[in-house]
Structure 1
């Protein structure tokens, strides 16, 4: 996914965080790239290092992609898909994020819009070059 890296910072007791913007929102998340990276556009892969628990950190949502800060959490809104082998994938504006599930999701949530509420240090961005 193409994002705009606005700036990075390290706060006491936290990971290196990057302030990032997309066409559908902005937030601060864990940056796993070069800490001296120049601000500007870059391609990144998103990962979520937290188990998804329906009704706790995953809830139904209305259908447009979204990204925002919610306290100490990052709120990601996208379309959820369930695979045949029981895995879950969130489509975040054309970018797929594989999700780890604590328990199987209800069958009726496949192909629906959801919001995930994830601690900002458990949402990571890995930059890459095309």
Structure 2
């Protein structure tokens, strides 16, 4: 996914955080790239290191369409959720696929539905890459 890095910040109690902008929202998220990165456009891969639990940290979205926003101590991603054959799930965030581990089986009716995924800020990260 192509994002705009607005700024990087480091606080004593946290990892490097990137303030980012996407075509469908802004948020701050853990940055796993060069700590001297300058503002600008970067291609990134999203990584979520938190199991999802239906009804707890993943819920039906009130709106359709992709979204990225802060949610207190969380990052909220809105996308289409699809279970995989091996018991995991994939969140389609505007054409970017994010693999998710599932703690409990997802309900049958959630395939390809719009959901809001709430991820603790320390458990979601961006990994920049070169094309």
Is the TM-score greater than 0.5?
yes
- CA distance, structure 2, for counterparts of residue 100 and residue 82 of structure 1: 10
Pairwise CA distance, 1:85: 2.2
Q: Secondary structure at the match of 1:121?
A: helix
- CA distance, structure 2, for counterparts of residue 16 and residue 117 of structure 1: 20
Kindly provide the CA deviation profile for residues 65-112 of structure 1, in whole angstroms up to 9, marking residues without a partner as x: 000001111010000011222220000010000001111111111110
Q: Which runs of 5+ in 1 are unaligned?
A: none
> What TM-score results when the alignment is normalised by the length of structure 2?
0.96
- CA distance, structure 1, for counterparts of residue 3 and residue 44 of structure 2: 7
Q: Which residue of the partner structure matches residue 96 of structure 2? A: 95
Q: Which runs of 5+ in 2 are unaligned?
A: none
Residue 29 (structure 2) pairs with residue 29 (structure 1)? yes
Considering only aligned residues, what root-mean-square deviation do their CA atoms show, in Å? 0.7
| Alignment size in residue pairs | 130
- CA distance, structure 1, for counterparts of residue 44 and residue 86 of structure 2: 26
